[in-house]
Amino acid sequence: MTDVTNLDGAITLVTGAGRGIGQGIAQVLSERGAIIAVSDLDGAAAEVAADALNAAGRTAAAFQGDTTSQDSMDALAAAVLDEFGRIDVLVCNAGVIGAPGYHERTDHTEADWDATFGVNVKGFVHTANSVAPHMRDRRAGKIVNIASHGGRKPRGARAVLGNIQAPYSVSKAAVIQWTHLLAIELAPHNINVNAVCPGTLWTPMWEAIAENRKASDPELAEFTPREIFEMSVKDRMPMGREQTPRDIGKAVAFLVSDDASEITGQALNVNGGAVMN
C-alpha cells in the first residue's frame, strides 16, 4: 500500500519520546519526513532515541523536559525554537499510570491521583501553553494529545487494574475533554487539536500492570507478565491482536497530515475494537 502521508520538514515536538509509545510515534513521523524534537524527563533516554533516528538517516535532536513544570516546558519550547526556528506539530504523550510503586499496590492512593493529574492532565496543559502561542502567531499548527481508551466508558467491574486504574482512567478522560476545549479555542487560529486513544500495548508500563495483576490475583500466579498481557488482549480485543507504538504513530501521522485538515476536536480509538464509540 502506498503511503500518502507526507510530513517532509515538519518540525515536530514529541514529549515522552524516549521510550514506549512516544518513541514509536517519533519513529513513524520521522520516517514520513518530520524532523523530531525528542523530549523526555529522562534526558539520557531522549539522547538514545534521537541518536537512533539520526543513525537511520532521519533528523532529530534530544531535549530534556519536565511536563509537570510550566517553567520547564517554556524552556523546552524556547530550546526547540532556537534549534529549529519553528514548531509545526506538537504531540503531548508523556504520561504515567500512577505514582512510583503503583504496580505493587491493589488500590489507588492520594499520591496516584496527584501523579496522574500532575503529568497526564496538567502536563498536557503546560505543554500546550508553551507551544500554542507560537502556533497562534504563525496561524498554523497541529496538536495531538495521547489519551487512552481507558478514558472512555468503564468496561465493567473487573477492569485491567481494578481500583488502581481509577486515577489513570479519570485523568485520560480529562485529556479527551481538554482536547475538545483546546480545539475550540485554537480553531480560529487554524490549529487542529485531536487526541488518539491507544488500546493495549506491550510497553514497560503494561509490563508493570501485568506484574500488579500477577501479584494480586492468585489465579494468575503461574503466568508470566507477557502471558497475562496476551490473555487480556484475547479477552478484550475483537480483532484479537495487540496494538503497537507504531500503530499509534500511524494514527498520529494521519491526524497531523493535510489529509486531516478538517478534523479537529476528535478522539480516535486505536484499540482493535475493544472500545467503540
Active site residue 168: yes
Edge-first strand order for the sheet with 89-92 is 60-64, 35-40, 11-14, 89-92, 141-146, 191-198, 267-270
Cα angle, residue 154 at apex, residues 151 and 160 outer, rounded to 5°: 85
What is the DSSP code string of 53-87?
HHHTT--EEEEE--TT-HHHHHHHHHHHHHHHS--
DSSP state of 117: I
Q: Return the number of other C-beta atoms located less than 10 Å from residue 244's C-beta.
A: 16
Catalytic residue among 168, 178, 206, 229: 168
What is the Cα–Cα distance from 154 to 169, expressed in whole angstroms? 9
Question: Which residues are designated catalytic?
Answer: 168
